[in-house]
Amino acid sequence: MPTIITKTNKRYKDLDLSLTIHPVRKDVNKLSDERAIIQSIKTILLTKHYERPFNPDFGSNITKLLFEPLDPITAVSLKREIEQTLKNYEPRVILQSVIVKPDFDNNAFAVTIIFIMKSLSQPITIQFFLARDR
Amino acid sequence: MASRLNVTELDFDSIKNNLKDFLTQQSEFQDYDFEGSGLNVLLDVLAYNTHYNAYYMNMVANESFMESAILRNSVVSHAKTYGYTPRSVAASHAVLDFTVITDNNTPGTLTIPRGYKFMSNLIDGKSYGFVTLENKTVTKTGNNFVFNDLPIYEGRLVSYAYTYDSTSNPNRTFTIPESNADTASLTVTVQESSSNTDSRVFTTVQEYFEATSNSEVYFTQESVDGKYQIYFGDGIIGKTIDDGNIVVVSYLITNGPAANGADAFKATAALSGHTNFDIDVVLRGSGGSERESVDSIKFNAPLQLLSQNRAVTKNDYIKLINQRYPHFDSVNVWGGEENDPPVYGRVFISAKPKLGFEITYTEKEYIKNKILKPVSVMTVVPEFVDPDYTYLKLDIELFVDVTKAAATLADIEEQVRQYTLSWAATNLNKFDSYFNYSGLESGINILSKSILSNEVETMVGKKFRPDLLQAQSYVLDYGIELARGTTDDNFYTTPDFTMIDGDGIARQCYFEEVPSSYTGIESMTITNPGFNYTSTPTLEIVGDGTGAVALANIVNGKLESVTITNPGVGYTSAIVRIVGGGGQSAEVIPVLEGRYGQLRIVYYKADSLTNQNTKFVLNSDVNNGVIGSIDYTLGKVNITLFNPTNVNNDFKDIMIFFRPKSNIMRTTGNKIFVLDSGDGSSVTVESKLK
């Protein structure tokens, strides 16, 4: 009986910006779907305004906000900034929620972003820390 | 079909879009459209790099041609291939009559050394130092040493000495370290060596093919960084210099145009022990200018190549004078054959200085002998003619709706006045210009919404300075057709002057225009004498008047002359029919008497009974008081034996204004229309309210 090989149709395909090499193909790694989007979110949030040539609006203001006091007010500003930036520059996601909590012990903010990728129905969660590096 | 990558775009966004279009053909990476994707980052890098290179290549291409080059050093480099050296910053210069007063008349001489310093009055809060550039020696006259026409130049004299070394400087090039050095003041001397103090003066090269292997000349050029360089010949064209020679370069560091207008000077140091000085300013500080601009170089360099540094055509002269003597607002040149009567073999030059109205004798001689003579055709003699100024007086009437703008009526009127003056500064005040009054009117109309319409009334005036000691005759040449006076406002004269009447009483007098009231035929101009006339033809005068009779006089079958036996009355236009006589083609134009008018002098005296002012004609017993004639067609006024004892203004000038026949006026030769911004009455603005 012939077997039917199903292949999931990947919607989003991107280059891995860390430029790691695929161990077998010896080529640059590719990212697809949610991994591509997570990389994109990371790029958008960590790009400062005026960093991109000829596109000064691109990016977010969060690196500046990290120099504000570590308190709930800054956390609210960060949340708003992240929401707004993703709305503007990442059309592939529908944001479910953004949670920003000040983490006093680590002198950082804990950020959780929950979104739905437009082609899937399951929500995706990413968690990361935002801390000043200087 | 796979689309190709479009490579003609130059700007970042188009390049990036082209790359995205190209990527639509593959399915390996699909995220190129999203700004946050890694692929987009790569596209940014690629597009930026492409854009950067495109811009760079474009600049390189632009700078390769004189027309499109923007950077100064590119333009200067192109100019070099045309044999053109851009003009450096030029020092403002003044001319003084400088008198050194001593307490005795022991004969002797006094030398004013190069670099003797004067300080100017404050200009914009700053005083400038002026120096002499040459030693000048005079002998004593009476108690004083008098230096007449002493030229002084704004700036500071500096000297640099370079020891020449052929290994480190094989091109024999020396850079002047200051960018604001006036190259016209350069002196270059070469000393043999530090032990041998013999020195030779090198001069700037004038003619390349006259420079031989022994010519002691130097060349100048502008270097890449905008500073000037001098370099010496290679021993074939121009004498070369040897190792160990000491090159001493001395020049003026100047502030350019900043010191223009300096009109009072004081000496700063004792001169051979003398400290008592008297200084008269002959020419106030003028002629300072910035170094030649990029646009000016682009304009002049190709012209220099065309004219081959020769003064042959009219434009060669204008270009040479403007380039080497940048002190004029406007220069006009015409051949003597255009004069009336023609003067062959001469070229006439007229120039209006940037400051004031006249140029000095020294300046004229300098331009004639130093600038034009070396490059002009041998038999052609350049000659200066002072500009002939025709003053304009504009009376502007506005029709204003004040509700349409926030400004007050006085503001609007002042705005119109200022606009008119600036309009005149760009459109008039120069040679070969024309007065385009409709342009002025339409310019005024769009100044403010509240100006509904306006009317410009023009008067043209001549200025003359009468001799106050003896009776003299004067000719005022307006150069344009004048309107015959019918009412008082066609004629205007200012200021009043004093004259002695027949009873020996001083009267405050004015000129008055009396248009001739005769309306007959004054004379006939024969434009074609015709031929084959066997008997005297009848001349029939046809026009709107009556009674004119003229007789033809035929000699050898041609119309020789016309005698008017009755001028007739009431003619404003007429033609002449030639009837009979057997011949043909004779043509005659009648000249109406109304072409002429008279000038007389009037004064006002209070009536002894009513005490009201009544007008009297001065010396009315002699020739009805007529003192001059007006030719309206030629625009000439002759004043005969005019003898005022005083003119009642500071400058002792009298101005006589007429209304021109047409408001479209053109200047030729040495004539210039001037709207004198220093004279408050040159532009008057009146408003009518809606």
Residue B405 placed within a domain:
no
Other CB atoms within 10 A of residue B226 CB: 12
Residues B149 and B203 in one domain: no
Report the distance separating Cα B619 and Cα B419, nearest Å.
45
Q: Is B48 on the interface with A (CB under 8 A)?
A: yes
Q: Region B594-613: what's the mean pLDDT? A: 80
Mean pLDDT of chain B: 86
A14 and B31: CB-CB below 8 Å?
Answer: yes
Q: In a 3-state reduction of DSSP, which class is residue A33? A: helix
| Two tokens, residue B548 | 């004119």
Which residue reads 């009837």 in tokens?
B579
Q: Domain containing B368: what range? A: 309-386
| Within a domain: B2 | no
Backbone angles phi, psi at B338, to 5 degrees: -85, -10
Residue B684 has pLDDT above 60, yes or no: yes
Say whether B36 and A30 touch across the interface (CB within 8 A).
no
**Which residue of B lies nearest to A19 if distances are taken between CA atoms?**
B38
B244 within a domain of the structure (yes/no)? yes
Q: Looking at residue B516, what is its pLDDT?
A: 65
Tell me whether B35 touches chain A (CB under 8 Å).
yes
Does pLDDT of A9 surpass 60?
A: no
Q: What is the pLDDT of residues B282-304, one digit of tens each?
A: 888 888 888 888 988 898 888 88
Q: What is the mean pLDDT of residues B525-532?
A: 85
- State how far the Cα of B682 lies from the Cα of B460, in Å rounded to an integer: 10
For the record, the structure tokens of B551 come out as: 């007789």
In angstroms, how far apart are the furthest CA atoms of chain B? 117
Query: Which A-chain residues 83-122 have CB contacts (< 8 A) with chain B?
Result: 89-92
Are B129 and B249 found together in one domain?
no
Q: Which of B27, B29, B38 sits opposite A39 (nearest CB)?
A: B38
- Give me the residues paired with residue B581 across strands: none
Burial B410-431 (b: 16+ CB within 10 A, else e): eebbebbbebbeebbeebbbbb
Among chain A residues, the shortest Cα distance to B52 is held by A53
* Minimal-distance CA residue of chain B relative to A17: B38
Question: How many C-beta atoms lie closer than 10 Å to residue B4's C-beta?
Answer: 9
Residue A1 has pLDDT above 60, yes or no: no
User: How many residues make up chain B in this entry?
Assistant: 690
- Of residues B581 and B231, more confidence is placed in B231
Q: Is the pLDDT of residue A62 over 80?
A: yes
pLDDT of residue A7: 47
Q: Where are the beta strands (DSSP E) in B533-611?
A: 538-543, 549-555, 558-566, 574-579, 587-592, 596-606
B34 touches chain A (CB under 8 A): yes
Closest by CA position to B278, among listed B294, B264, B295, B290: B264
- CATH code at position B350: 3.30.300.200
Task: For B664, list phi and psi in degrees, rounded to 5.
Answer: -100, 110
Distance CA A67, CA A62 (A): 9
B523, B548 Cβ separation under 8 angstroms: no
If one counts every other C-beta atom within 10 angstroms of the C-beta of residue B564, the result is 19
Q: Is B454 exposed, middle or buried (0-12, 13-18, 19+ CB in 10 A)?
A: buried
Query: Considering only B57-66, B78-87, B202-211, which range has the smallest mean pLDDT?
Result: B202-211
Q: Is B459 among the domain residues? A: no
Number of domains in chain B: 5
Q: What is the pLDDT of residue B3?
A: 67
Please list, in sequence order, all residues whose beta carbon lies within 8 angstroms of the beta carbon of residue B508, skipping any fewer than 6 positions away: B496, B497, B498, B603, B604, B648
The residue among B386, B419, B445 that closes a domain is B386
Q: pLDDT digit string (tens) for B551-588?
A: 888 888 888 888 888 888 777 778 888 888 888 888 88
Residue B412, domain member (yes or no): no
Q: CB contact, 8 Å: B28 with chain A?
A: yes
Q: What is the dihedral of CA A42, A44, A50, A56, to 10 degrees?
A: 170
**Complex prediction ipTM:** 0.83
Most confident of the following: A120-134, B135-149, B504-518: B135-149
pLDDT band at B522 (very low <50, low <70, confident <90, very high): confident
Give per-residue pLDDT as tens, B177-210.
988 999 989 999 999 988 988 889 998 886 677 7
Residue B485 has pLDDT above 70, yes or no: no
DSSP-derived 3-state class of residue B226: coil
Q: Where residue B174 falls among pLDDT bands split at 50, 70, 90? A: very high
Residue B382 has pLDDT above 50, yes or no: yes
User: Tens digit of pLDDT for each residue in B437-460?
Assistant: 888 888 888 888 888 888 888 888
Whether residue A130 contacts residue A74, with contact meaning beta carbons closer than 8 Å, is answered with: no
* Tokens found for residue B410: 């006085």
Spatial neighbors of B513 by CB under 8 A, at least 6 apart, are B485, B490, B491, B597, B598, B599, B630, B658
CB within 8 Å: B38 and A13: no
Q: What average pLDDT does range B322-328 have in this prediction?
A: 78
- Provide, rounded to the nearest whole percent, the portion of chain B with pLDDT above 70: 97
CB B216 within 8 A of CB B232: no
Least confident of A4-8, B292-296, B379-383: A4-8
Band of residue A45 on the pLDDT scale cut at 50, 70, 90: very high
B539 phi-psi bin (left φ>0, alpha ψ -120 to 50, beta other): beta
**Average pLDDT, stretch B331-348?**
83
Q: Do residue B59 and residue B188 come from a single domain?
A: no
CA distance B35 to chain A (A): 6
User: Rounded mean pLDDT of chain A?
Assistant: 85
Question: Is the Cβ pair A44, B30 closer than 8 Å?
Answer: no
Q: Which positions in chain B touch A15 (Cβ < 8 Å)? A: 29, 37-39, 42
User: Which residues make beta-bridge pairs with B200?
Assistant: B190
Domain co-membership, B131 together with B266:
yes
Residue, of B433 and A73, whose pLDDT is higher: A73
Distances (CA, A) of B136 to B98, B120, B148, B159, B275: 12, 21, 10, 20, 18
| Contact by Cβ (8 Å): B190, B241 | yes
Q: Is the model's pLDDT at B623 over the cut of 50?
A: yes
Q: Are residues B489 and B583 in the same domain?
A: yes
- Give the torsion through C-alpha atoms of B637, B641, B642, B645, to 10 deg: 160
Residue B1 confidence (pLDDT): 46
Does the residue B74 lie in any domain?
no
User: Angle, to 10 degrees, between the axis of helix B409-427 and the axis of helix B437-445?
Assistant: 140
By C-alpha distance, the chain A residue nearest B30 is A13
On the question of pLDDT at A5 being above 70, the answer is no
Task: Write out chain A residues lying below 8 Å of B44, CB-based.
Answer: 52-53, 55
B517 shares its domain with B542: yes
Cβ pair B36:A41 closer than 8 A: yes
B41 touches chain A (CB under 8 A): yes
To the nearest whole Å, the CA of A41 is away from the closest chain B CA by 7
Between chains, do B48 and A53 touch, taking CB under 8 Å as contact? yes
A35 close to B (CB below 8 A): no
The reply to whether B533 and B628 lie within a common domain is yes
List pLDDT tens digits, range B100-121: 998 888 888 999 999 999 999 9
B38/A15 Cβ within 8 A: yes
Cα→Cα distances A77→A62, A99, B109, B507, Å = 9, 11, 89, 92
Between B683 and B358, residue with greater pLDDT: B683
A-B contacts at Cβ under 8 angstroms: 59
pLDDT 10s digits, B239-278: 999 999 999 999 999 998 899 888 899 998 898 889 999 9
pLDDT confidence of residue B107: 87
* Alpha carbons B90 and B690: distance in angstroms, whole number: 53
Q: How far is A40 from chain B (nearest CA, A)?
A: 4
Looking at the predicted structure, is the pLDDT value of residue A104 above 70?
yes
Q: Which residue of B has its CA nearest to A91?
A: B34
Mean pLDDT of B514-536: 79
Binning chain B into helix, strand and coil, the percentages to the nearest 5 are 20, 40, 40
Cβ–Cβ below 8 Å for B29 and A43:
no
Of B477, B281, B261, the residue nearest B387 (C-alpha) = B477
> What is the average pLDDT across B336-351?
83
Q: How far is CA B171 from the centre of its chain?
A: 42
pLDDT band at B486 (very low <50, low <70, confident <90, very high): low
Record the tokens describing residue B570, joined without a space.
């009431």
B interface test, pick of A16, A29, A43 with most B CB neighbours within 10 Å: A43
**Within this chain, do residues B262 and B324 fall inside the same structural domain, yes or no?**
no
Which strand (E) or helix (H) includes residue B151? strand B144-154
Contact B511, B597 (CB under 8 A): no
The pLDDT, as a whole number, for residue A6 is 46
Contact between chains at A14 and B41 (C-beta distance less than 8 A): no
pTM reported for the whole predicted model:
0.57
pLDDT tens per residue, range B7-41: 888 889 999 998 888 888 887 787 888 888 888 88
Question: Is there a single domain that holds both residue B279 and residue B324?
Answer: no
Bridge partners, B293 (sequence order): none
Please tell me the distance from the alpha carbon of residue B85 to that of residue B181, in angstroms, as a whole number.
15
User: Most B CBs within 10 Å: which of A9, A38, A52, A54, as the mutation test of the B interface?
Assistant: A54
Query: Residue B489: its pLDDT value, please?
Result: 66
Q: In the listed set B350, B371, B386, which residue is the last one of a domain according to the structure?
A: B386
| Residues pairing with B436 in the sheet | B664
> Which positions 105-144 of B are in contact with A (Cβ < 8 Å)?
none
Return the minimum-mean-pLDDT range out of B321-325, B393-397, B534-538.
Answer: B321-325
Identify which of A12, A36, A89 has the shortest CB distance to residue B35: A89
Residues B126 and B197 in one domain: no
In this predicted structure, the answer to whether residue B589 has a pLDDT above a threshold of 70 is yes
Domain annotation covers residue B441 = no
The reply to whether B411 falls in a domain is: no
Q: What mean pLDDT is predicted for residues A24-33?
A: 86
Asked whether residue B522 falls in the same domain as residue B610, the answer is yes
End-to-end distance of chain B based on CA atoms, in angstroms? 72
pLDDT of residue B121: 92
Residue B369 shares a structural domain with residue B485: no
Which residue does chain A place closest to B27, by CA atoms?
Answer: A13
- Chain A CB within 8 Å of residue B31 CB: yes
By CB atoms closer than 10 A (0-12, 13-18, 19+), residue B153 is buried
Alpha carbons B170 and B164: distance in angstroms, whole number: 9
CA-based nearest distance B288→chain A, Å: 45
